[in-house]
Amino acid sequence: MDYNAHRRRAGLILGLVLGTGYSLTSNLINRQALPGIPLYVPPPGELGLIVITALMFGALGLLAAWPDESLPGALLAGLAGSFISSIWIFLNETNKTATLAVLVSLPCMFFYLPFGALVRWLISKIDQPSMQNIAPVRRLIPVFLAFAFMVFLGTFTRLPEETRTALVRMNELMKAGMQVTARADLPKPLHGVEGFIQNADGAYSFIIGSDPDVLPAQRPIVEYGELEPFIIIKFENGFVFGCVFSPPYIQPACSDS
């Protein structure tokens, strides 16, 4: 078999294997950490995202293995991964700007470039000639370790503790608000949401927004760098409003504008 074809096939398989480990963890960890919280899952759904993410890593593994030299392959995988991730984040972001896409692509490069380098290193370890008879399983030990490492990396996509706390309290607030029939009986944070009594009906989900300043609601002044979770509540009937939790993350400021 042509070695180029062998190397590229190995890159594709390694990308799929490593990507599956990362995809499973990153797509499921927040649902496991927040049972019962209706987190929004963009199309094509949870299973679809796991499959698509694994396929993307497979394609990046193929790109990393395509050139004869390792460095161009790692760079190609880094650039392609950054571009794909930036487009995905841009399409799913609530506050779309061209600057956002550029800023997102820069840190992504520092993730996908090492991934491409890892794929090339694994290919070299698998294909490395040995003076001794080594069982095929032992040759795959670096792959098993890399898979475990990618699973570990996926855990870093877990939402921050402040955001998780805000989501739990937001869900409690929603359940309390949806049980009343008069505006005066609503929990205080929901008084600023016009049409809550009439429209807050049926299933809803939580979207994590990136810029709390877009919500026209008064909230406490916080120190620079303090995290303020911005939660967008979206009902299946189309009703949408947002809430921002400022420290100590007990009562949010909410608005439907």
What does the DSSP assignment read for 84-144? HHHHHHHHH-SS--HHHHHHHHHHHHHHHHHHHHHHHHHHHHHH---SS---HHHHTHHHH
Q: Tokens 């795959």 map to which residue?
A: 140
Q: What is the pLDDT of residue 137?
A: 75
Cβ count within 10 A of residue 174 = 20
Q: What is the pLDDT of residue 93?
A: 61
* SS3 of residue 191 by DSSP: helix
Q: What is the dihedral of CA 39, 95, 155, 236, to 10 degrees?
A: 10
Each as own residue / partner, the long-range contacts of residues 248-253 (CB below 8 Å, 24 or more positions apart, any chain) are 249/162, 249/165, 249/166, 249/169, 250/169, 251/188, 251/189, 252/166, 252/169, 252/170, 252/173, 252/189, 253/189, 253/192, 253/215, 253/217, 253/218, 253/219
Q: What is the pLDDT of residue 99?
A: 44
Query: What values do phi and psi take at 12, rounded to 5?
Result: -65, -45
Mean pLDDT by 10 residues, the chain (257 residues): 88 97 96 96 91 95 95 94 81 53 59 94 82 70 95 94 96 95 92 92 93 84 86 95 91 88
The Cα 105–Cα 85 span in angstroms is: 7
Where in the chain are the domains?
A: 3-157, 161-255
The Cα 78–Cα 184 span in angstroms is: 55
Q: What is the pLDDT of residue 223?
A: 81
Rounded to an integer, what is the distance from CA 61 to the centroid of its chain?
20
Q: What is the pLDDT of residue 234?
A: 96
Q: What is the pLDDT of residue 82?
A: 87
Sign of CA dihedral 198, 235, 180, 166: negative
Q: What is the pLDDT of residue 100?
A: 46
The Cα 5–Cα 81 span in angstroms is: 22
